[in-house]
Amino acid sequence: MSKVITTTAPIAIEHLKEYFADKETAYVIDYANSELKGEKLLVYLGNLDLPADIEFETKEDLEEMILAYAGSTFIVNIQSLEITMLNLLLENEVGISITDELQGLLDHWSVRIKSLLLYNLHTVDLEELNDFVDAAPKDETDSLVGVNFVSLLKYEELGHIITGDGNNLDECINYTKYFNDYMFKGKNLYSYWANTNNILFLQTWAVASGERQNILDELTTIEKETENDTLI
């Protein structure tokens, strides 16, 4: 069982030493009493890259932090922010005010998440599906604003947005760099996509694997028939 240390940010040296002595150690940041807040706190935690979460006492503090998180350009794993963002995208009540700026960022995340329906076809790598993906509207942006949308792929609930009734392939965008480049903390999008909580990935992988196996079986049968014809 991991050891959890409640502390402020920046984290005191003696508390940091505990992590390096025991890698099961995790931190909960007391936001209200921390010196670092907003984007500065995200940068700090992102650079440390230690298991940490943030505890909020007021909705104003959460509003400040979720706005910074929604517009951040680097990946940082903060469960409280991930869950809040997921609920906002699902239009669940989370008890905070949605400003025009935050709504703009939510829309920014939403179009990328919904376009993962197209990315799902891209991962299969079949010629006819590749043609369909290539024919979709393209966006070659390499902007990392809102990059933490990939962090939500570990939550099964995100599938409700990707495959929801309000989403269809005709409206998806082919984000060529997102789909192909290693731009997510040195990893590609597939590194986040391929996980056991992603039902769409599991279903597609199962079907695609079965289809490939059927093709291989058919080719094997043809080869054997050809060999038999040659022997005759």
What backbone phi and psi angles, to 5 degrees, belong to 107? -65, -40
Cα separation, 78 vs 124, whole angstroms = 31
Instruction: Kindly tell me the burial class for residue 232, based on how many C-beta atoms sit within 10 Å of its own C-beta (0-12, 13-18, 19 or more).
Output: exposed
Q: Partners of 175 in the beta sheet?
A: 139
Q: What is the CA radius of gyration of the chain?
A: 22
Is there a contact between 183 and 140 (Cβ–Cβ < 8 Å)? no
Instruction: Return the structure tokens found at 202.
Output: 């599991």
Amino acid in the structure at residue 190: Y
pLDDT tens, per residue, the chain with 232 residues: 579 999 999 999 999 999 999 999 999 999 999 999 999 999 999 999 999 999 999 999 999 999 999 999 999 999 999 999 999 999 998 999 999 999 999 999 999 999 999 999 999 988 888 999 999 999 999 999 999 999 999 999 999 999 988 788 999 999 999 999 999 999 999 999 999 999 999 888 877 776 555 544 554 665 566 555 444 4
